[in-house]
Every structure is written in structure tokens, then in C-alpha cells.
């Protein structure tokens, strides 16, 4: 059974650019959540999607956005990148809306220079 | 919102000894508490979880205890092995919520 797949694994971008990260959940999982992980702030919730609808959003600026497709795959987008956006972005999927049994992907390491 | 505190931030133990990591939470409505292990270059992996209607849960060398009154829960690893070396995160979630609030992590090193 394939796990949660995140692409790309590594990304280097310049300040001011935008970036799109992709997450393919475990087959059958309809809930996808995104987290930002940094040494200083730890794991912080970005947003969660269930059946193509954003159900919850964390405390991040509007530059961070996401969407979910009908096949449950999800993308997150960060516009006007700042140095502080450098982080590991983790995607997690689960069967149920309320996140029981989260399974995380290996993440996308974003570096903004 | 919820605030989860985790201690210690680093922990070194000799192989075969026990390791204990503690977390406290602030929101009494939280009722689901998972523990994740994160190895270098990988995403967090669920190792054990506990719900608020249970005081203790054990899975081989790993156990979690929960004190709802005091709002704290702990991870216990017995007979530690070098492969237990990793960063461990606790988390809390409410039934009505769909996001985890994570602790700041504990870097565990098991010395052979």
C-alpha cells in the first residue's frame, strides 16, 4: 500500500517567487492536512481539506493557500515567498474528516534564498 | 486555542534504560493524544495514541499514560535501543476539531 507522496522533495526558490507543492494521499483517504515544520516554531497547522472543501485553516497569512481535487490529491501554494517561509512542509492524510490515524508524507523541503 | 508543552527538549539514555517524555495541554476539551516519531529526512510516524476515556495504553516497549485532571500525558519507552533514537512529538486534538496541536519535540539519543 503506497504511503503519502509529496513532490518535489526539495525546492529552492528566490524571494518574491511563488511555489506549488503537491501531495497524493493514501488511496481511499479523503482528508488531507498540511503542516509547516521549522526549528523555531515546530509543527504548525496550515489547513485541512476534506472532499475538496477547506474545513479548517491555521493562523497563516493569505499568501498560503491550497486546494484539493476530486481524486483527493492536494496542492498548496505560497505566493510572494519570504525568507521565513523556508521550512519542511508536511502533508498528512486520513480516512476521516477529524484526522484520526494521520499518516504523514516525508515532506517537501523548501529553501527560500 | 490549545497549547501543548513538551519536556525535555533533549534526552540521552543508555541502551536498555527507560526513557520518559512528558507533555501538558491547556484545553480540557482535547480528548485525543497521539505520539509521533520523526527520523531524519522522514515525516512523523504515529507510534501510539490514547483517547481521554483511557488512562493507559501499552504496545510492546512503548506505553502512554494520561492524567485528564492534571492535563498531562507521558510517553514511556522501556529497554531502549539505538533505533529508538529520533525526535518524538506529542500532540492533542479535540473531537470537534480537525487539527493537531503539537509539542515542540524531544530529541532522544540512545547510547549503545
User: Of A42, A48, A106, which has the smallest distance from its Cβ to B43's Cβ?
Assistant: A106
* Cβ–Cβ gap B42/A106 under 8 Å: yes
Please tell me the distance from the alpha carbon of residue A31 to that of residue A100, in angstroms, as a whole number: 10
Please report which confidence band the pLDDT of residue A1 belongs to, taking 50, 70 and 90 as the band edges: low
**Does A102 contact B at CB distance below 8 Å?**
yes
Ordered per-residue pLDDT tens for chain B, 112 residues: 889 999 999 999 999 999 999 999 999 999 999 999 999 989 999 999 998 888 999 999 999 999 999 999 999 999 999 999 999 999 998 876 678 899 999 999 999 9
User: In this structure, what C-alpha cell is assigned to residue A73?
Assistant: 490529491
- Given a contact cutoff of 8 angstroms between Cβ atoms, the answer to whether A35 and A52 are in contact is no
| Averaged pLDDT, A94-109 | 81
pLDDT digits (tens, 9 = 90+) for A58-99: 999 999 999 999 999 999 999 999 999 999 999 999 887 555
**Nearest C-alpha of chain A: how many angstroms from B61?**
20
Please tell me the distance from the alpha carbon of residue B76 to that of residue B49, in angstroms, as a whole number: 12
Widest CA span of chain B, in angstroms?
Answer: 44
Please tell me the distance from the alpha carbon of residue B98 to that of residue A50, in angstroms, as a whole number: 10
**Does A60 contact B at CB distance below 8 Å?**
no
- Given a contact cutoff of 8 angstroms between Cβ atoms, the answer to whether A58 and A45 are in contact is yes
Please tell me the distance from the alpha carbon of residue B45 to that of residue A66, in angstroms, as a whole number: 23
Residue A38 pLDDT exceeds 80: yes
- CB atoms < 10 A from the CB of A103, how many? 18
Amino acid at each position: 500500500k503506497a504511503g503519502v507522496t509529496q513532490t518535489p522533495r526539495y525546492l529552492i526558490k528566490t524571494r518574491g517567487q511563488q511555489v506549488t507543492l503537491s501531495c497524493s494521499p493514501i488511496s481511499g483517504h479523503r482528508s488531507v492536512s498540511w503542516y509547516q515544520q521549522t526549528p523555531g516554531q515546530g509543527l504548525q497547522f496550515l489547513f485541512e481539506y476534506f472532499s475538496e472543501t477547506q474545513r479548517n485553516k491555521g493562523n497563516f497569512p493569505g499568501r498560503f493557500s491550497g486546494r484539493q481535487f476530486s481524486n483527493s490529491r492536494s496542492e498548496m501554494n505560497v505566493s510572494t515567498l519570504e525568507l521565513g517561509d523556508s521550512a519542511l512542509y508536511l502533508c498528512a492524510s486520513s480516512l476521516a474528516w477529524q484526522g484520526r490515524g494521520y499518516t504523514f508524507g516525508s515532506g517537501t523541503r523548501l529553501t527560500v534564498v | 486555542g490549545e497549547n501543548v508543552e513538551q519536556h525535555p527538549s533533549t534526552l540521552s539514555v543508555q541502551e536498555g534504560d527507560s526513557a520518559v517524555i512528558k507533555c501538558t495541554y491547556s484545553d480540557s476539551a482535547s480528548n485525543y493524544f497521539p505520539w509521533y516519531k520523526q527520523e531524519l529526512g522522514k515525516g512523523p510516524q504515529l507510534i501510539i495514541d490514547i483517547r481521554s476515556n483511557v488512562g493507559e495504553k501499552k504496545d510492546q516497549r512503548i506505553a502512554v499514560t494520561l492524567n485528564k485532571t492534571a492535563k498531562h500525558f507521558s510517553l514511556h519507552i522501556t529497554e531502549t535501543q539505538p533505533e529508538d533514537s529520533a525526535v518524538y512529538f506529542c500532540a492533542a486534538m479535540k473531537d470537534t476539531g480537525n487539527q493537531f496541536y503539537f509539542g515542540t519535540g524531544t530529541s532522544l539519543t540512545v547510547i549503545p
